[in-house]
């Protein structure tokens, strides 16, 4: 799979045409739209989720609340809003690897992950990860051992999922501030694991 399909899907072309028309008629400001998109991609996006994960790694009581009632625990850190009304948190373990998809469209927990990446919306990912998750994860660089079970979770307008990755070895005792930069968006979707700086290499 590639990050950008060779041919843009019909909804994307329609959206671009509508945006061009609204800009032409002076109904929207492209600079405002760009700022809105950047906010969700970078500021309201994966950094929020990374802070949630780092807090769970360093605070056992918070981790318990997060796994029991994800939406409320996430709101404790100030992250809430549209597309985040009901978030369930899935914990990666030595026995089970969780991965998230939305087979119908692209439901995604915006308050903690920002805008969904293009591959998440790609029909190929949406169809294949359900049928052959191990192969898809391998293609995306996430090798799940044969003995480990893979569970695929289908997001919807009623419930969205956030994956709590396993804390990488060698980072025990680190504080949340130091751990936050290690957590990636892909790890919180379940298509990657979190690596320590030594594992990632120079």
Which residue in 20, 107, 118, 156 is the catalytic one?
Answer: 107
Which residue in 20, 102, 155, 157 is the catalytic one?
Answer: 102
Closest CA to 45 of 134, 112, 106, 102: 112
Active site residue 107: yes
Closest CA to 123 of 103, 138, 151, 140: 103
**Quick one: CATH architecture of 44-200?**
Alpha-Beta Complex (3.90)
Angstrom CA distances, 60 to 53, 55, 70, 117, stand at 11, 9, 14, 31
pLDDT range class, residue 13, cuts 50, 70, 90: low
Active site residue 142: no
As a whole number, mean pLDDT of residues 102-126 equals 93
Whether pTM > 0.85 for this model: the answer is: no
Q: Quick one: pLDDT at residue 100?
A: 98
Active site residue 102: yes
Q: Quick one: pLDDT at residue 4?
A: 43
Q: Are 153 and 99 in contact (CB under 8 A)?
A: yes
The packing angle between helices 46-58 and 60-68, to 10°, is 120
- How remote is the C-alpha of 85 from its chain's centroid? 16
Which residue in 20, 106, 142, 156 is the catalytic one?
Answer: 106
Which residue in 20, 105, 118, 157 is the catalytic one?
Answer: 105
Per-residue pLDDT for 95 more than 80? yes
Closest CA to 117 of 167, 187, 181, 180: 187
Per-residue pLDDT for 118 more than 60? yes
As a whole number, mean pLDDT of residues 117-125 equals 94
Q: Quick one: pLDDT at residue 3?
A: 46
Summarize pLDDT for 19-46 with one digit per residue, the tens: 677 777 777 777 776 776 666 655 557 9
């Amino acid at each position: 799979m590639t990050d950008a399909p060779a041919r843009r899907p019909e909804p994307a072309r329609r959206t671009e045409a509508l945006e061009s028309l609204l800009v032409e008629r002076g109904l929207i400001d492209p600079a405002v739209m760009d700022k809105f998109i950047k906010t969700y991609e970078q500021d309201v996006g994966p950094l929020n989720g990374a802070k949630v994960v780092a807090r769970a790694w360093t605070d056992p009581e918070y981790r318990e609340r997060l796994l029991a009632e994800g939406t409320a625990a996430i709101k404790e850190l100030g992250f809430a809003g549209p597309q985040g009304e009901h978030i369930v948190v899935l914990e990666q373990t030595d026995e089970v690897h969780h991965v998230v998809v939305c087979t119908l469209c692209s439901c995604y927990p915006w308050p903690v992950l920002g805008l969904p990446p293009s591959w998440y919306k790609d029909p190929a990912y949406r169809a294949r990860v359900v049928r052959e998750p191990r192969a898809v994860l391998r293609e995306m660089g996430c090798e799940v051992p044969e003995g480990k079970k893979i569970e695929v979770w289908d997001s919807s307008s009623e419930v969205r999922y956030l994956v709590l990755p396993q804390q990488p070895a060698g980072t025990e005792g680190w504080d949340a501030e130091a751990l936050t930069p290690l957590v990636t968006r892909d790890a919180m979707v379940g298509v990657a694991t979190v690596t320590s700086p030594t594992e990632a290499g120079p």
